[in-house]
Amino acid sequence: MRRFLIAGNWKMNSTSASAKELAQGLVDGVSLKDTDVEVLISPPFPYLSQVKSIVDGSPVQLGAQNAYFEAQGAFTGETSADMLTDIGCSHVILGHSERRHVLGESDEIINKKVHACLNEGLTVILCVGELLKDRESNQTESVLETQMKGGLKGVEAGAMGKIVIAYEPVWAIGTGVTASPEQAEAAHQFLRNWLSENYNAEVSEQMQILYGGSVKGSNANELLSQTNVDGALVGGASLKADQFLPIIEAAVGLSS
Ligand code: 13P
């Protein structure tokens, strides 16, 4: 059985003080014992170490929002996968739509980052998702296919246990508009079939496929109830413990 993963992506939000308070609020409020639920938070880079010291010893795992594909050297402003493992990150988010569409990352660059992070033992949350215009012109599946093919190029089946897919329709991110449970399930089913056809049945069955896009406490249960939705990648609602904890609780309720 697949475990749920509820992941918070703080994006470029918080201060040193609010990061500590939020992390502490989650550690105090979360209870995952004997459940099939994993919880992860991804603060901005400057706060990773201090958040790590708060979540250490708790079930809350730590992820980064990006990494560079080179190991070290003259790459001003970049952070390597090795640095992330060094400070205790277990996961990294790659290919987020904001990095694709605001910062211009191509599938080729994302793929290099995927390899660099897998080589360092990080679990990669690879984000894919279509723009509104893609959905309106019936291109959703071909966009997802291109992003999966490009992002996972050269990744062998044996490494796929360290990949998580996040389906984040761009039109649902930060807009308050959530994909309907049926729309999410259809996209997740497509992604799972793609994994089966391009890898094998085992990889497809075991893959955690998260949904992201305006997930909140009030809609988490119906989204997570879908057969192929194995968790959530949460932006806005991950910035307050009293909004993130109910999403975790929805997963806990469904897993027991
Ligand atoms: P929101 O939950 O704010 O829509 O953001 C989703 C997201 O981009 C998570 O990575």
DSSP string, the chain: -PPEEEEEE--S---HHHHHHHHHHHHHH---TTSSEEEEEE--GGGHHHHHHHHTTSSEEEEES--BSSSSSS-TT--BHHHHHHTT--EEEES-HHHHHTS---HHHHHHHHHHHHHTTPEEEEEE---HHHHHTT-HHHHHHHHHHHHTTT--GGGGGGEEEEE--GGGSSSSPPPPHHHHHHHHHHHHHHHHHHS-HHHHHH--EEEESS--HHHHHHHHTSTT--EEEESGGGSSHHHHHHHHHHHHHHH-
Parse the chain into domains and list their residue ranges: 4-255
**More confident of the two residues 34 and 6:** 6
Whether residue 91 lies in the annotated active site: no
Burial call 138-151: b when 16+ CB within 10 Å, e when fewer: eebbebbbebbebb
Q: Kindly report the protein residue whose alpha carbon is nearest to atom 2 of ligand 1.
A: 235
Instruction: Give the ligand 1 atom nearest the CA of 98.
Output: 8
State whether the beta carbon of 247 lies less than 6 angstroms from ligand 1. no
State whether the beta carbon of 140 lies less than 6 angstroms from ligand 1. no
Q: Kindly report the protein residue whose alpha carbon is nearest to atom 1 of ligand 1.
A: 235
Give the pLDDT band (50/70/90) at residue 173: very high
Q: Give me the residues paired with residue 231 across strands.
A: 5
State whether the beta carbon of 235 lies less than 6 angstroms from ligand 1. yes
Cβ within 8 Å of residue 238, ≥6 positions away: 7, 8, 9, 10, 41, 244, 247
Give the pLDDT band (50/70/90) at residue 1: confident
Q: What is the pLDDT of residues 77-93, one digit of tens each?
A: 999 999 999 999 999 99
Q: What is the pLDDT of residues 103-127, one digit of tens each?
A: 999 999 999 999 999 999 999 999 9
Is pLDDT of 256 > 80?
no
Annotated catalytic residue within 98, 168, 185, 249: 168
Distance 6 CA to ligand 1 centre (A): 12
State whether the beta carbon of 168 lies less than 6 angstroms from ligand 1. yes
Q: According to the CATH classification, is domain 4-255 in 3.10.180.10?
A: no
The whole-model pTM stands at: 0.98
Whether residue 202 lies in the annotated active site: no
Give the pLDDT band (50/70/90) at residue 217: very high
Annotated catalytic residue within 96, 98, 105, 188: 96
Quote the pLDDT of residue 177.
87
State whether the beta carbon of 240 lies less than 6 angstroms from ligand 1. no
